[in-house]
Amino acid sequence: MPEETIAAILLSLKVAAMATTAAAIIGVACARLLTRLRFTGKEAVETALLLPMVLPPTVLGFGLLLVFGRNGPFESLFGTNLLFTWWAAVIASAVVAFPLVYQNAKAAFEKVDPDQENAARTTGAGEARVFFTVSLPLAWPGIMSGLVLAFTRALGEFGATLMVAGNIPGKTLTVPMVIYFAVESGDYATATPLVAIVLLLSFTVLFGLQHWSRRRLVRYTMQRRHL
């Protein structure tokens, strides 16, 4: 396998991992906050958070260009331009992965029994301790599902990434871009193994999630029977 292809695989894994981490931190925080808060316009805010899941990649990429491009808000605040760097690929992937984390985390937090949280508060536990010792562990299976879906989505991100990061070999060239340009040039010898790798990796991750969920359900059912 060519060195450039190996570099693209490693870069894709790094970008997907960092994008999932960013989406996890922000997505779980937003899900927890919006699960607890009640305010006018909440539905509009939640709709806006889910928009990246349905927007065309070109629209999303254009929005990121406006924010992180030359003379954009990010450059004005921090004095640096992230376009056409691997950080731009991380940002694009994190944005498209965020709704998957947020949606799953929000559904998981809504299923947490408030009585268990209140029981922890009666022992003197602060909100941070309640969150990390009660709420988060109870919601973890749902959050985990969101993280897995976010990782696979970030791994395959193409459209918005191409617009903000470009296709610089060894710097911003990810696997989806290698596949696209290989197919465009008729180089199926390069595209086919990469497609197989992505399919195998995605299948393995999703299969692992399904297996873990099924075993957890069986274990929970057995515990209930012994109560």
| pLDDT tens-digit readout, 26-57 | 999 999 999 988 889 999 999 999 999 999 99
- 136 occurs within a structural domain: yes
Instruction: Give residue 13's pLDDT band: very low, low, confident or very high (50, 70, 90).
Output: very high
Neighbours of 170 (CB within 10 A): 11
Dihedrals φ, ψ of 130, to 5°? -60, -40
User: CA Rg, the chain, in Å?
Assistant: 20
| pLDDT tens-digit readout, 66-116 | 998 888 898 888 888 888 999 999 999 999 999 999 999 999 999 998 888
Residue with more model confidence, 212 or 156 = 156
The end-to-end CA distance of the chain, in Å, is 56
**Residue 134 CA from chain centroid, whole number:** 24
> Residues of the chain with pLDDT > 70: what percent?
95
Number of domains comprising the chain: 1
Does residue 161 have a pLDDT over 80? Answer: yes
Neighbours of 7 (CB within 10 A): 16
- 218 occurs within a structural domain: no
Instruction: Give residue 223's pLDDT band: very low, low, confident or very high (50, 70, 90).
Output: low
The domain that contains 91 carries what CATH number? Answer: 1.10.3720.10
Structural domain span for residue 14:
3-174
